[in-house]
Structures are given as structure tokens and as C-alpha cells.
């Protein structure tokens, strides 16, 4: 299962340190008191609030008052990277912080309740409805984030700017040092910041964006492989084919044929 939602367990206890290796986790609390530890950072639980956990992050709870809320878990593979790039970009922006305070008026109770109902219905259209509700939910959180008085430190600011630059500059730029120069930082620092937030280096994220751009041209245009290589700023078609095959295990032509046989 690549997506699930449930109500937060309404009980007071200290949970064991644990992590979800494959899942992003959004935790919404409308009630509760205690502490939430994420890696080496300890938060005082003060609802309404939302916690955003990356895959593999270790955390545990120490409640002193019954918690109430929702838990949303999803894998990145739940989303179509070609058709839902904007949705993916939204949750990547949220991943720059572990906790987001939410005003009572902005707590998304209605969206979360409808998400849970649709998940439990599990009809032929539920997945599409859930994705629409998720987009609305993440949009609400980003809006609350923009209104938050919390100040971002330089590290998340660098990462968020890098994420914004990727789709704008990747067809033209392929190297970490080129992006680092635009961000007024060093390649080493940019790699470190990216690894902290995504477990992938800046170079790996650049390559992933290049692959995504390539797939868009391969599947949604009639451009030849030579033309696509030129559009993506590869020195020649041969280098582009080698790059794509290394990433996907098949050549661009083979990738196109599997969708248009």
C-alpha cells in the first residue's frame, strides 16, 4: 500500500523510537500534551500543529494528555512523477521543517475527515479523489507555512531555492557547482544540505530532474532522440542515451516503445 490515513491513537504512553523507511508521514494534532522527539530535536506538543517526517527519520512520543488528530502516510511512488510534479514539489517544500504550527481557524479538519472517509470507501474513483484532497491539504499547509512567524534558517532556504531552480535550470545546467554558484554556496555545502533533507546528493537530484524532463519529451512530443538530447543540453545524442539507460535500464527509444506499442 502506497497511501494510508488513520486517526491518531487516543492513548497516553511513551512509544518506542521507530521510523518508516519508505513513507513520508504527516501527523496532525488537534489535542494533546507531552513531547515529540525527532532524531535529536525534542518538541513540546502544543496543538494545533503538524509534523512532517521524511522516510527513515527516527521519532517517538511521550504524551501526558490524550492526543487527537490524524496520521497520513504515503510513498513517493504513489504519485505520477510526470503528471503530478506540482504535488510532489509541494510536499518537498514542506519537508524543509519538522513542525508547523497551525492556527485553530486553519486546522484542516474537514479535508482530513473527507480523506479518511474516501480512503475507507475505496471505490474506483477514490484514488483520484484522494489525490485531489491531498493537493488541497498540502496547499493549505503551505499557505499556513507562509503565514507562520517562524523564521527559516539558511539551510532550508538554500534547499528550497535549489528545489525551485531545478525545473527552471536543469535543461541548461547539469553540474552541482553550477547550481551552487547560483545559490552563493559551495558544492560541498549544497550536497550536504540536500542529503540532510532528502538522503540524496544535489547531483542525484539534478540527474533525477534530467530524467523527468527527458521522459516528458519522450512521451509527450514527437521529437527525435537527437532533438531531445539537444533540448536537454547534452553534447550529443550518444551521451544522452548512455545517461538515460544508466538511470532507467533502457534506452529512450525502448522507453518510448513500451508506452506506444
Alpha carbons 125 and 100: distance in angstroms, whole number: 31
pTM over 0.75: no
Helices 202-220 and 237-248 pack at an angle, to 10 degrees, of 110
* pLDDT tens digits for range 89-146: 787 778 777 899 998 888 999 999 999 999 999 999 999 999 999 999 999 898 877 6
- 154-259 CATH: 1.10.10.60
Task: Kindly list the distances between the CA atom of residue 107 and the CA atoms of 6, 112, 210, in Å, as whole numbers in the listed order.
Answer: 17, 9, 37
Signed CA dihedral, 73, 79, 84, 85: sign only = positive
3-147 CATH, one of 2.60.120.280, 3.40.50.720, 3.40.50.1220, 3.40.50.620: 2.60.120.280
* pLDDT tens digits for range 143-181: 877 654 444 445 557 887 898 888 889 889 999 999 999
Give the start-to-end residue ranges of the domains of the chain.
3-147, 154-259
* pLDDT tens digits for range 231-252: 999 999 999 999 999 999 999 9
- 103, 144 Cβ separation under 8 angstroms: yes
Signed CA dihedral, 244, 203, 38, 137: sign only = negative
Instruction: Read off the C-alpha cell for 89.
Output: 514539489
**Apex 234 CA angle, 245 and 214, nearest 5:** 50
Amino acid at each position: 500500500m502506497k497511501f494510508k490515513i488513520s486517526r491518531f491513537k487516543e492513548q497516553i504512553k511513551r512509544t518506542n523510537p521507530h521510523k518508516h523507511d519508505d513513507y513520508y508521514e504527516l501527523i496532525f494534532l488537534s489535542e494533546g500534551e507531552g513531547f515529540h522527539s525527532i532524531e535529536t530535536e525534542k518538541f513540546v506538543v502544543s496543538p494545533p500543529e503538524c509534523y512532517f517526517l521524511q522516510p527513515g527519520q527516527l521519532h517517538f512520543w511521550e504524551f501526558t494528555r490524550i492526543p487527537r488528530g490524524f496520521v497520513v502516510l504515503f510513498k513517493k511512488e504513489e504519485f505520477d512523477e510526470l503528471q503530478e510534479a506540482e504535488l510532489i514539489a509541494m510536499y518537498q517544500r514542506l519537508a524543509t521543517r519538522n513542525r508547523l504550527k497551525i492556527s485553530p481557524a486553519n486546522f484542516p479538519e474537514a479535508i482530513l475527515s473527507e480523506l479518511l472517509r474516501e480512503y475507507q470507501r475505496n471505490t474506483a474513483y477514490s484514488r483520484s479523489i484522494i489525490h485531489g484532497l491531498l493537493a488541497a491539504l498540502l496547499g493549505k499547509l503551505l499557505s499556513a507555512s507562509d503565514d507562520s512567524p517562524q523564521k527559516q534558517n539558511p539551510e532550508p532556504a538554500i534547499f528550497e531555492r535549489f528545489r525551485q531552480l531545478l525545473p527552471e535550470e536543469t535543461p541548461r545546467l547539469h553540474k552541482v557547482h553550477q547550481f551552487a554558484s547560483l545559490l552563493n554556496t559551495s558544492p560541498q555545502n549544497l550536497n550536504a544540505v540536500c542529503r540532510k533533507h532528502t538522503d540524496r546528493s544535489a547531483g542525484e537530484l539534478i540527474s533525477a530532474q534530467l530524467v523527468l524532463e527527458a521522459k516528458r519529451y519522450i512521451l509527450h512530443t514527437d521529437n527525435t532522440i537527437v532533438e531531445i538530447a539537444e533540448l536537454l543540453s547534452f553534447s550529443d545524442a550518444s551521451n544522452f542515451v548512455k545517461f538515460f539507460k544508466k538511470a532507467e535500464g533502457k534506452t529512450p527509444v525502448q522507453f518510448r516503445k513500451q508506452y506506444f506499442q
